Structure 1
Amino acid sequence: MVEIEFQQKTKELIDNLKAICASYGLGNDGNEFKIITQVFLYKFLNDKFAFEIKKINPKLADAERWEDEIAKLSDDDFEMLKLQLGPDTARLKTTHFINHLFNQQNAADFAKLFDDTLMDIAISNNDIYAVVTDSGEKIRLFDRVSEFLTDVSKRDAFCRAIINKLGDFSFERIFTQKFDFYATIFEYLIKDYNSNSGGKYAEYYTPHAVARIMAAILVPEAQRGQIKNASCYDPSAGSGTLLMNVAHAIGENRCSIYTQDISQKSSNLLRLNLILNNLVHSIPNVIQGNTMLHPAHKEQGQLRQFDFIVSNPPFKMDFSDFRDQLDSKENKARFFAGIPNVPKQATDKMAIYQLFLQHIIHSLKATGKAAVVVPTGFITAQSGIDKAIRQKLVDEKMLAGVVSMPSNIFATTGTNVSILFIDATNKADVVLIDASNLGEKIKDGKNQKTVLKDEEEQRIIDVFNHKQVQDDFSVVVSYAQIQEKNYSLSAGQYFDVKIEFVDITPEKFAEKMKGFTDNLDSLFNQSRELEVEIKKQLANLDYD
């Protein structure tokens, strides 16, 4: 009941903030998502601070107004209290509290006070929360929110409207909840802002079914709680859906997240996702930049290698403006299968997923595992870079298997996709699953998408993890068999062809054959009659 109540209250808060933006002319504005997410985050950090500080000092928890009790502390006592906070909690001053701003809302230049408060929180906690670009520049947690409103005369009222919505409830009672609660809230928070906008670097929201399947196969139930100090990487992280699922499976305190994404919007959303999911310690590893051109995560001058890698890379994107820079001596090992050529037709897009897939293989530890979303055409292509990548995975025995997903599992693209599972330790059999017939078709706005039922998700996970063979659904094959099939990873090409035999007497057989013959004679007679009729009709046609 508590979780349902807080989901409702949280969604009401988000809707209220959107309504405020709309009433001040910022609805569907390019900056609306920054305002919504940053104000939501300010509220979240305040309540998290209150939750943690009350655990340290129970007297604060018993007080009717904890802010008033803190105000009674000396500066030294307050600082000592903050020193006991964990590393994932923002260090706030009393002037940063929502309660303080609420009491100051009638002051002159309230918008400036509101913005100054957010900026001071960002500066004070820059080492914890700043996202870094590939050139080393730090992107702070907050912007000056009121300045997104161009009408200066309305900024004070705009900020007053916001602060009046932030004190209606507290997140404190929900901080014991884990991923499932925050995944729902995060998706609701960003649902209008993380879609394919048609731009050059359009983000695609990875369906939770795909993310859950990837995590459950990479980290089977039996291994949970046993993995320690794991490094988890996504070179095209987006808002982090895949990584959150893997981190949840491993345990947030047992892994560190490493990411890179060219989109500033995605990097900011990912930072928010890490904060919501107790992964603040990984924020310094969030890099905004071009992974292919400037891979940021290195050790001793070499690309860092990781325990787990997950990715839903872009399938088609024009990278001709930096394609030739990739074709260098230092990239020979990374792009072992080659770099796509610039298409002859300007409208054709380049298969950038081929670069990401090679980068992932090169970035995987010898004991590492990876799961990558690829277009289904990749698993059967008989030439070029796709086949060369498959050959490496098979010949070097570092493949776990493939799951071919139903069409329209992504509502935003009609491309059929498969999940490629790489496991450098799997030297035996490979699992191939054809899940293309699973799921239910539903409308998602103007698009149609396929939704898997819980039991269908579990079927895929169980069949893969237990290497089960099911008729017309899954096969378990050797590396030698894959080589014999010209490196095809399509499950259907390995299914047995079954011929059904029916026990029948000679008399019954003769009767059936006579029935077939009589039926054919009837059809032939009809055909001859139609032929005569057509010729008659043609003879009656005149040129006029």
Structure 2
Amino acid sequence: MSEEEKRMLQQQLWNIANTLRGKMGADEFRDYILGFIFYKYLSEKMEIYANSLEDGLEYATVDDNTEEGLAIVEAVAEEAVAALGYTLKPSELFSNVAKRGNANEEGASSFILGDLETTLNNIEKSTMGTESQDDFDDLFSDMDLTSNKLGKTEKQKNELIAKVLGHLAKINFNLSDKKADVLGDAYEYLIGQFASGAGKKAGEFYTPQTVSTILAKLVTRDNGHAKGYLKSVYDPACGSGSLLLRVAKEVKEVAHFYGQELNRTTYNLARMNMILHDVNYKQFDIRQEDTLEHPQHGMDARFEAIVANPPFSSHWSANPLHMSDDRFSQYGKLAPKTKADFAFVQHMVHHLADNGTLAVVMPHGVLFRGAAEGHIRRYLIEERNLIDAVIGLPSNVFYGTSIPTCILVLKKCRTSPKDILFIDASAHFEKGKNQNNLRQEDVDKLITAYDKREFDDKYSYVASLEEVAENDYNLNIPRYVDTFEEEEPVNLDAIATQLQQLEQDMKGTDTTIADFCGQLGIKAPF
């Protein structure tokens, strides 16, 4: 599929999404359209798999109400649950439900809401007691087919849903092409579109693609070259999972994806996103809980790559009991209750493998704030020597906030243990209507500077640990990267001559105006 065809598909899906919009907010109709797309994906994946089990089998045409059809369905189900993690009957396939919803024998719409709700529940039920149960549990819980926002009457709701399913049924997701992640790209596009219209809520589930790319490249670098393979990648505030999936695009293979997300709806979105990108249920482990208060992946878990865009300066308990937690105990102090930024950093450092790299987006305050944060920052540098690079990003590149941000890169085994690299990329961007954008050239420049690790006037600087200590472990980027632009000297004689000329011009204009006023018989305004 060409890039133009991909763009057309993305636009088609966005147009269908807007069919549902009505009185809903961006986050509400997002849940419906992404849920329906996911259901269509599962159906087509199921159909392709079932047809591959037996030559000549057309699974969608099998009548599961007959004894013979039921035998086929049961045989296929056992294989499908093991391979795909779920199963669907032929009558439950998206194409058949959409067909029933848009025309029966008389050409009128059939009532499908009940069938659709049962089908979505059956997908989850088919996983019960299996390895994939946690990955499908309550996956469609945000799709309320009884909501009055879909219509005042059951008939109106049914007509709207049938219409949406009918539009989606006409789109070919091209799932048979293993190399082209057409649907995955389209899904990412939709998530981005919803984020751009979701205001402050957008930051809860989506990191702008260019920022994701930078983070992904940073954690997959190995002495200036991209790694080919990652054993594991982890995001403790994974949102929609897009950042985890972006890391996978930078390497040939990621063996396992791990993530945790507090928001239930976003957690569902992350699991759907994984499956839609053809990540097998055995390869990902996404959990739902508060990462700082209730980490879900075990204290002994270690990950080769860690990426994150946690909520900026969020609140957490800062409970003194955390001082006995291995993640925080060695630092001597906890992050402030009203600013959990360093708590996230400490959590990630604990779970970082010895050969791993951590890249996290933070507000600039973590670079210079004092008190407990200053103490933790000093410990990370002086005692652990973990901070490898500090990178300043442009302001207004994130959804829901215009503040400038930075990226901290941390490693346990650093190749440059005697210094810290500072990069100021804050002036390198393209100004957008609502949001600033990092261009490909900006991303390339940043990654090249990270790889080269050398002085570049007004852009990058390598500070020795001694210099950082002299600055009292303050990492504020302007202390290290001088971006001051000297203004051109002012020629006062030329300015005086210009002012004299303006004075003469004004006198001439006043004379002309007075002449016009005299001809009109009115009083001059001066």
Distance in 2 (alpha carbons) for counterparts of 1:42 and 1:393:
48
Contact persistence 2:362–2:405 (CA under 8 A): yes
Asked if residue 46 in structure 1 is aligned to residue 43 in structure 2, the reply is yes
Distance in 2 (alpha carbons) for counterparts of 1:35 and 1:473:
45
Distance in 2 (alpha carbons) for counterparts of 1:100 and 1:498:
65
Using a 3 Å threshold, how does the CA distance of structure 1 residues 289 and 325 change in structure 2: closer, same or farther?
farther
Distance in 2 (alpha carbons) for counterparts of 1:358 and 1:195:
33
Gaps of 5+ in 2: 501-526
Aligned to 2:507: none
Using a 3 Å threshold, how does the CA distance of structure 1 residues 392 and 16 change in structure 2: closer, same or farther?
closer
Aligned to 2:235: 234
Q: Which amino acid aligns with 1:257?
A: F
Distance in 2 (alpha carbons) for counterparts of 1:97 and 1:155:
20
Aligned to 1:314: 311
Residues 383-402 of structure 1: pairs in structure 2 closer than 5 A: 383-402=371-390
Aligned to 1:12: 12
Count matched residues: 479
Residues 28-107 of structure 1: pairs in structure 2 closer than 5 A: 28=25, 31-55=28-52, 57=54, 59=56, 67-68=60-61, 75-76=70-71, 80=75, 87-88=83-84, 90-105=86-101, 106=104
- Residue of structure 2 aligned with 1:338, choices 324, 333, 338: 333
Contact persistence 1:6–1:174 (CA under 8 A): no
Residue 13 of structure 1: how far off its partner (Å): 3.5
Contact persistence 2:6–2:182 (CA under 8 A): no
Aligned to 2:422: 432
Distance in 2 (alpha carbons) for counterparts of 1:267 and 1:381:
32
Contact persistence 1:398–1:424 (CA under 8 A): yes
Aligned to 1:210: 211
Residue 303 of structure 1: how far off its partner (Å): 4.9
Distance in 2 (alpha carbons) for counterparts of 1:91 and 1:15:
30
Contact persistence 2:199–2:400 (CA under 8 A): no
Q: Secondary structure at the match of 1:45?
A: helix
Contact persistence 2:358–2:410 (CA under 8 A): yes
Contact persistence 1:308–1:364 (CA under 8 A): yes
Distance in 2 (alpha carbons) for counterparts of 1:485 and 1:49:
60
Distance in 1 (alpha carbons) for counterparts of 2:258 and 2:124:
22
Distance in 1 (alpha carbons) for counterparts of 2:188 and 2:424:
31
Aligned to 1:117: 119
- CA deviations 1:197-255 (Å, max 9, x no partner) are 557x9616312111111111211387656435x22211111112221111222345x32
Superposition TM-score, scaled by structure 2 size: 0.78
Distance in 2 (alpha carbons) for counterparts of 1:3 and 1:311:
29
Residue 453 of structure 1: how far off its partner (Å): 1.9
The percent identity for this pair of structures is 22
Aligned to 1:166: 168
Distance in 1 (alpha carbons) for counterparts of 2:15 and 2:192:
12
Q: Which amino acid aligns with 1:185?
A: Y
- CA deviations 1:388-412 (Å, max 9, x no partner) are 2243234322222111112222253
Using a 3 Å threshold, how does the CA distance of structure 1 residues 156 and 332 change in structure 2: closer, same or farther?
closer
Using a 3 Å threshold, how does the CA distance of structure 1 residues 242 and 282 change in structure 2: closer, same or farther?
farther
Contact persistence 2:312–2:363 (CA under 8 A): yes
Residue 178 of structure 1: how far off its partner (Å): 5.0
Residue 192 of structure 1: how far off its partner (Å): 2.5
Residues 137-536 of structure 1: pairs in structure 2 closer than 5 A: 138-141=137-140, 145-149=144-148, 151-173=153-175, 175-178=177-180, 182-189=184-191, 191-192=193-194, 203=204, 205-220=206-221, 224=226, 226-228=228-230, 230-252=231-253, 254-281=254-281, 285-298=285-298, 302-319=299-316, 322-324=317-319, 327-330=322-325, 333=328, 336=331, 338-341=333-336, 350-426=338-414, 427-444=417-434, 449-495=435-481
Q: Does 357-366 or 174-183 show the bigger shift?
A: 174-183
Using a 3 Å threshold, how does the CA distance of structure 1 residues 456 and 179 change in structure 2: closer, same or farther?
farther
Contact persistence 1:48–1:171 (CA under 8 A): no
Distance in 2 (alpha carbons) for counterparts of 1:224 and 1:92:
40
CA RMSD of aligned residues (A): 3.8
Residue 439 of structure 1: how far off its partner (Å): 0.9
Contact persistence 1:316–1:352 (CA under 8 A): yes
Contact persistence 1:219–1:250 (CA under 8 A): yes
Residue 110 of structure 1: how far off its partner (Å): 2.6
Using a 3 Å threshold, how does the CA distance of structure 1 residues 334 and 391 change in structure 2: closer, same or farther?
closer
Distance in 1 (alpha carbons) for counterparts of 2:167 and 2:77:
27
Contact persistence 1:194–1:204 (CA under 8 A): no
Contact persistence 2:303–2:352 (CA under 8 A): yes
Residue 181 of structure 1: how far off its partner (Å): 6.5
Contact persistence 1:217–1:465 (CA under 8 A): no
Q: Does 170-179 or 239-248 show the bigger shift?
A: 170-179
Using a 3 Å threshold, how does the CA distance of structure 1 residues 378 and 328 change in structure 2: closer, same or farther?
closer
Moved over 6 A (4+): 69-73, 496-500
